[in-house]
Amino acid sequence: MAIKSFHPPQRVLMGPGPSDVSPRVLEALSRPTIGHLDPVFITMMDEMKTLLKFAFQTENELTMPVSAPGSAGMETCFVNLVEPGDKVIVCQNGVFGGRMKENVERCGGIAVMVQDEWGRAIDPQKLEDALKANPDARIVAFVHAETSTGAQSDAKALVEIAHKYDCLTIVDAITSLGGTPLNVDQWNIDAVYSGTQKCLSCTPGLSPVSFNPRAQEKIRNRKTKVQSWFMDLNLVMGYWGGATKRAYHHTAPINALYGLHEALVILQEEGLQNAWARHHKNHLALRAGLEAMGLNFMVPEAECLPQLNAIIVPDGVDEAAVRSLLLSEHKLEIGAGLGAMAGKVWRIGLMGHSSSPSNVRLCLNALDDVLVRLKAPIRHGVGVEAANRLLAS
Ligand SMILES: *Cc1c(COP(=O)(O)O)cnc(C)c1O
């Protein structure tokens, strides 16, 4: 039997990413493919840089999307900035900090881990202590928005401490970009990477990155070649660079870039501050609804990421059965716990296009229905009303 075309079902994506992609982005993806050196395409690339600089709040010339998912943006930062023998302090408070360690070691660097409790922000004092104990450290790396737990760290404070000890900073802003305040220049972040499928509500597979002049200088003065040919920024810049003639490096994912361009235009139309405020308001409404039902958040409110809500699974409830019923009966996807949090929490994303009052209500109604059906100990029929009180204000 011949295999037929693939038609995915319609879902509501409220997990840790991907989030729902705007119909405008889906339409942009289907526009005609043109050559990656076509002058019209080059103009689009220049606009893309301008839009990314706006989203990151930076004037960094070296700002562009890496042609691969967020993990490749992460790797781009590490392979370019870490040389063999470099000591890197990695603050870890969840799954993604562990991946940073892997990256450092694969670049021949020495990772010094500073551990924090999962579900809490990174403690700036612990970073300062580690820097005092390791005066030869060259780089500090941390995750701004830990998607595995829903905790947000004070990036500005951490970068300030790192600079006091003359270290460069690498910041994972995959889940924060577009969803919660991120000011790359104001906070003096040296290297930052993000993803497209979280709060930008674009399809997965691209990773915006940005490097300030200090980071660029470190890359230019490397004693060794960057181990990865594909991610060597000295070469990539030949294609994405501003003034010089564009040279072929790799074939850009042309249509995917149309999608990101559109997603960034949408963000620009809404305004960054408005997008951050929308994420925060919908988070508060979801929180009010869930707490009225008797469910608890893992992260204290002051450290909570508005776009990723980790909810403690009540005792005796089969967490996988809940997710499975939400998907089959309500077409709603939420996330499971990751790493040490597996089986202990659900992760409800309110990212980008998915962060809306109607999705807050839909999620509360669906959870109420499924949890009552599974005889979980919750208060029935009170979630949406509690959320509505916040949404009306
Ligand atoms: C999603 C995510 C990643 C990985 O991004 P991919 O696009 O899946 O490679 C890395 N770090 C954080 C904090 C994330 O949320």
**Which bin fits 356, alpha (ψ -120 to 50), beta or left (φ > 0)?**
beta
pLDDT at 242 (0 to 100) = 59
Phi/psi at 63 (nearest 5 deg)? Answer: -135, 125
Q: Which two tokens stand for residue 170?
A: 């690498």
**Helix, strand, or coil (residue 19):** coil
Would you say the CB of residue 71 lies under 6 angstroms from ligand 1? yes
Q: Which of 231, 251, 268 is the last residue of a domain?
A: 268
DSSP element (H, E) containing 171: strand 168-172
Task: State the closest ligand 1 atom to the C-alpha of 175, by its place in the atom list counted from 1.
Answer: 15
Would you say the CB of residue 147 lies under 6 angstroms from ligand 1? yes
Distances (CA, A) of 152 to 17, 288, 294: 16, 19, 24
Distances (CA, A) of 322 to 13, 30, 167, 299: 15, 35, 45, 21
Alpha carbon 131 to chain centroid distance?
Answer: 26
Would you say the CB of residue 305 lies under 6 angstroms from ligand 1? no
Whether 3 is in a domain gets the answer: no
Would you say the CB of residue 102 lies under 6 angstroms from ligand 1? no
Q: Read out DSSP for 59-111?
A: --SEEEEESS-HHHHHHHHHHHH--TT-EEEEEESSHHHHHHHHHHHHTT-EE
Task: State the closest ligand 1 atom to the C-alpha of 147, by its place in the atom list counted from 1.
Answer: 15
Tens-digit pLDDT string for the chain (393 aa): 899 999 999 999 999 999 999 999 999 999 999 999 999 999 999 999 999 999 999 999 999 999 999 999 999 999 999 999 999 999 999 999 999 999 999 999 999 999 999 999 999 999 999 999 999 999 999 999 999 999 999 999 999 999 999 999 999 999 999 999 999 999 999 999 999 999 999 999 999 999 999 999 999 999 999 999 999 998 887 778 755 567 888 999 999 999 999 999 999 999 999 999 999 999 999 999 999 999 999 999 999 999 999 999 999 999 999 999 999 999 999 999 998 899 999 999 999 999 999 999 999 999 999 999 999 999 999 999 999 999 997
pLDDT at 326 (0 to 100) = 98
**Helix, strand, or coil (residue 167):** coil
186 shares a domain with 84: yes
143 shares a domain with 248: yes
Using an 8 Å Cβ cutoff, are 370 and 328 in contact?
no
Cα 376 to middle of ligand 1, angstroms: 32
Whether 13 is in a domain gets the answer: no
Q: Which of 252, 268, 284 is the last residue of a domain?
A: 268
371 shares a domain with 254: no
Cα 375 to middle of ligand 1, angstroms: 35
Whether 16 is in a domain gets the answer: no
Distances (CA, A) of 80 to 46, 74, 108, 137, 211: 23, 10, 12, 17, 10
- The domain spanning residue 67 has which CATH number? 3.40.640.10
Query: Is the whole model's pTM more than 0.85, yes or no?
Result: yes
Would you say the CB of residue 69 lies under 6 angstroms from ligand 1? yes
Q: Which two tokens stand for residue 6?
A: 């693939």
> CB neighbours of 129 closer than 8 A, spacing ≥ 6?
none
Q: Which two tokens stand for residue 26?
A: 């889906």
Residue span of the structural domain in which 318 resides: 272-391
375 shares a domain with 357: yes
| Minimal-distance CA residue to ligand 1 atom 2 | 174
Cα 132 to middle of ligand 1, angstroms: 30
Strands 345-349 and 332-336, by their bridges, are: antiparallel
Rounded Cα distance, 239 and 359, in Å:
40
Whether 14 is in a domain gets the answer: no
| Minimal-distance CA residue to ligand 1 atom 5 | 70
Q: 99 labelled as ligand-binding? A: no
Would you say the CB of residue 172 lies under 6 angstroms from ligand 1? yes
Cα 4 to middle of ligand 1, angstroms: 32
Would you say the CB of residue 355 lies under 6 angstroms from ligand 1? no
Polymer length in residues for the chain: 393
Q: Read out DSSP for 173-191?
A: -TTTTTTS---TTTTT-SE
373 shares a domain with 294: yes
User: In a mutational test of the pocket of ligand 1, which residue from 19, 66, 67, 71 has the highest number of ligand atoms less than 8 Å from its CB?
Assistant: 71
Whether 96 is in a domain gets the answer: yes
| Minimal-distance CA residue to ligand 1 atom 12 | 174
276 shares a domain with 358: yes
Rounded Cα distance, 205 and 367, in Å:
30
Task: State the closest ligand 1 atom to the C-alpha of 146, by its place in the atom list counted from 1.
Answer: 13
Q: Read out DSSP for 225-274?
A: --S-TTT-HHHHHHHH-SSSPP--SS---HHHHHHHHHHHHHHHHH-HHH
pLDDT at 246 (0 to 100) = 79
Query: Which amino acid makes up residue 263?
Result: A
199 shares a domain with 243: yes
Query: Which amino acid makes up residue 12?
Result: V
Q: How many angstroms separate the first and last alpha carbons of the chain?
A: 57
Q: Which two tokens stand for residue 152?
A: 């947000």
Strands 151-152 and 137-143, by their bridges, are: unpaired
Q: How many structural domains compose the chain? A: 2
331 shares a domain with 212: no
248 shares a domain with 141: yes
Cα 95 to middle of ligand 1, angstroms: 10
| Minimal-distance CA residue to ligand 1 atom 15 | 147
User: In a mutational test of the pocket of ligand 1, which residue from 174, 176, 193 has the highest number of ligand atoms less than 8 Å from its CB?
Assistant: 174
309 shares a domain with 232: no
Rounded Cα distance, 213 and 99, in Å:
26
Task: State the closest ligand 1 atom to the C-alpha of 94, by its place in the atom list counted from 1.
Answer: 13
Sign of CA dihedral 28, 29, 32, 35: positive
Whether 6 is in a domain gets the answer: no
132 shares a domain with 42: yes
Whether 11 is in a domain gets the answer: no
pLDDT at 169 (0 to 100) = 98
Q: Which of 245, 268, 291 is the last residue of a domain?
A: 268
Residue of 109, 103, 60 lying closest to 86 (CA atoms): 109
Would you say the CB of residue 204 lies under 6 angstroms from ligand 1? yes
309 shares a domain with 333: yes
- The domain spanning residue 381 has which CATH number? 3.90.1150.10
Would you say the CB of residue 98 lies under 6 angstroms from ligand 1? no
Contacts of range 362-367, beta carbons closer than 8 Å, 24 or more positions apart: 362/12, 362/330, 362/332, 363/14, 363/286, 363/332, 363/334, 364/286, 364/289, 364/290, 364/293, 366/326, 366/329, 366/330, 366/332, 367/290, 367/293, 367/322, 367/326
Whether 15 is in a domain gets the answer: no
Cα 139 to middle of ligand 1, angstroms: 21
pLDDT at 244 (0 to 100) = 54
